[in-house]
Amino acid sequence: MMSADPRFELAYHGFNHGTPGARTEDFTQEWRGFPSRQAAVEQTRAGLEIFRRTVGSAPQGGKYGGWDYNDFAGDAVDDCGFLWWCRDWTP
Mean pLDDT of 19-35: 93
Predicted local confidence at residue 28, as pLDDT: 94
Q: Helix (H) and strand (E) counts for the chain?
A: 3, 4
Report yes or no: 84 and 60 within 8 Å, Cβ to Cβ.
yes
Confidence of residue 80 (pLDDT cuts 50, 70, 90): very high
How far CA 18 is from CA of 1, 9, 15, 43, 84, in Å, comes to: 28, 24, 8, 12, 22
Residue closest to 15 by CA, chosen among 56, 62, 48: 48
Predicted local confidence at residue 91, as pLDDT: 66
Predicted local confidence at residue 86, as pLDDT: 92
